[in-house]
Amino acid sequence: MSSLAQARGTIPGMVTLEKVEGSRERFVPLLLEADDSVEVVRTYFELGSMYAIADDGVEVGVVLTIPDGDDLEIKNIAVAPEHRGRGIGTAVLKLAADLAREAGASRLVVGTADSSPGTVRFYERAGFLRYGVREGFFDAYPEPIWENGVRAHDMIMLERRPN
């Protein structure tokens, strides 16, 4: 892996993205932190570009981006539970916006479940705006998705213009 980008977040360390070359299999457990279906993860985890998220050189997460027309989509972003709440995700979103700008994308987009208002707020605090809903998206999953006792049905779509 080679260091691609770095940013300082609200945390004391340096957050970097390192492009993953070769097998991505070891990242499946992390991808499942953000997408509850291994069957669904396996439909996309070999697509696009995958980056290991490191905080001061320690691997703490993963982000997968996929070009979609003029957009760059964050298909999956996950920080290991023991590293959450320290600004790493926010720093990664800034780095992803830089990737979108460098790729010439008109916007950076992400989708999240309607059952996860905290995640929607996280993206909105990072400068993303809601632009649509993919109705019934999670109804097609092999097993129902539940978050905090609420079943996911729709995907809330958010966008941010690259820096």
pLDDT attached to residue 89: 94
pLDDT of residue 7: 46
pLDDT, tens only, 123-162: 999 999 999 999 999 999 999 999 989 999 999 999 999 8
Q: 76 pLDDT exceeds 50?
A: yes
Per DSSP, 82 falls in state: G
Which pLDDT band holds residue 9 (cuts at 50, 70, 90)? very low
pLDDT in tens, 84-107: 999 999 999 999 999 999 999 999
The average confidence (pLDDT) of the chain is: 91
Count, residues in the chain = 163
Q: Show me where the domains of the chain are located.
A: 2-160
Class at the top of the CATH hierarchy for domain 2-160? alpha beta
**Given strand 71-79, what is the order of strands in its sheet?**
2-8, 14-19, 49-55, 58-68, 71-79, 107-113, 155-160, 129-134
Q: The pTM is what? A: 0.87
